[in-house]
Copies of this chain bind each other. A is one copy, B any other.
Amino acid sequence: MPEAPTRWRRRKEARPNEIVAAALDSFVERGYAATRLEDVARRAGVTKGTLYLYFPNKAELFKAVVRAVLSPRLADMAGAMATLSASAFLERLVITVRDVAATPVGGLPKLILAESGNFPEIARFYYEEVVERGLNLIKGVLRRGVASGEFRPVDVDYVCYCVVGPMLLGVLWQRTMEPYAAAPLDYDRLCRTHLDILLAGLRPTEAAP
């Protein structure tokens, strides 16, 4: 009866998380359609049948992965940043994205982009849980910055895309174009440059009193 010695007998509460983790890796690696449940199962150390004890089908597993991965990330982000100045917030935001980008979670945007057509439900979920909230957060900060004179008056509802765009590009780049580029992407440098241009672009003009 002695199982593997290094890892105590896993309780059934642990299983779903292990499966979700394995599934995240697989989905991010190969995409939804190309991911075989057999592989997910093997990676999770169980068999195919076991997956169905916890998730009714592949699509639901996929959704569970997205939900499980995203949900915790967002709550604290808003709170943690409420106290910062607008510029400092943007810096912090960029840094945070940079750090997440290196984890498997960094593969989610690409995955959701790819599957948004076939999983409208997921796309909506992602929109509501991440995109909308994130954009509103940014818009709020930008508005605050404009109101306080830290930033010049701008079209806040669209500047937020300019904030996000280069960061998204970076996240996607690492998982698509990176292997073919002459040099690897220096994400740090991307962040610095992005902030440089962005903050310069938002800075109030001399003439504007």
Interface residues of A, Cβ cutoff 8 Å to B: 29-34, 110, 112-118, 120, 123-124, 127-128, 131-132, 152, 154-155, 158-159, 161-162, 164-170, 172-173, 175-177, 179-181, 186, 189-190, 192-194, 196-203, 206
Nearest CB in chain B to that of A181: its residue: B127
Kindly identify which residue among B114, B176, B201 contacts A196, using a CB–CB cutoff of 8 Å: B201
Contact check, B31 vs A172: say whether CB atoms are below 8 A apart: no
Which of chain B's residues have a CB closer than 8 A to the CB of A201? 196-202
Contact check, A193 vs B114: say whether CB atoms are below 8 A apart: no
Min C-beta distance of A5 to chain B, whole Å = 20
Min C-beta distance of A108 to chain B, whole Å = 13
Interface centre among A113, A158, A190, A194 (most CB of B within 10 A): A158
